[in-house]
Chains A and B, each alone.
Chain A
Amino acid sequence: IAGITQAPTSQILAAGRRMTLRCTQDMRHNAMYWYRQDLGLGLRLIHYSNTAGTTGKGEVPDGYSVSRANTDDFPLTLASAVPSQTSVYFCASSESGLAGANEQFFGPGTRLTVL
Chain B
Amino acid sequence: QQQVKQSPQSLIVQKGGISIINCAYENTAFDYFPWYQQFPGKGPALLIAIRPDVSEKKEGRFTISFNKSAKQFSLHIMDSQPGDSATYFCAASMGGSSASKIIFGSGTRLSIRP
Q: Chain A: residues with CB nearer than 8 A to chain B?
A: 4, 31, 33, 35, 40-45, 48, 50, 56-59, 90, 92, 94, 97-101, 103-109
Contact = CB atoms under 8 A, between A and B. Distances in A.
B99 A108 contact: no
B95 A99 contact: yes
Contacts of B6: 42
B73 interface: no
B9 interface: yes
Contacts of A33: 99
B102 interface: yes
Contacts of B97: 98-100
A106 B36 CA distance: 10
Contacts of B94: 99-100
A97 B105 contact: no
Given A99-B93, A107-B43, A45 B106 contact: no
Given A40-B107, A99-B102, 10 more contacts: A31-B99, A40-B106, A56-B100, A94-B99, A98-B97, A99-B100, A100-B96, A103-B34, A104-B46, A106-B44
A48 B106 contact: no
A106 B41 CA distance: 12
B25 interface: no
Interface string B27-40: 00001101000000
B31 A100 contact: yes
B45 interface: yes
A109 B44 CA distance: 10
B101 interface: yes
Nearest to A90: B43
B61 interface: no
Q: Could you say which of A92, A97, A98 has the most chain B C-beta atoms within 10 Å of its C-beta? A: A98
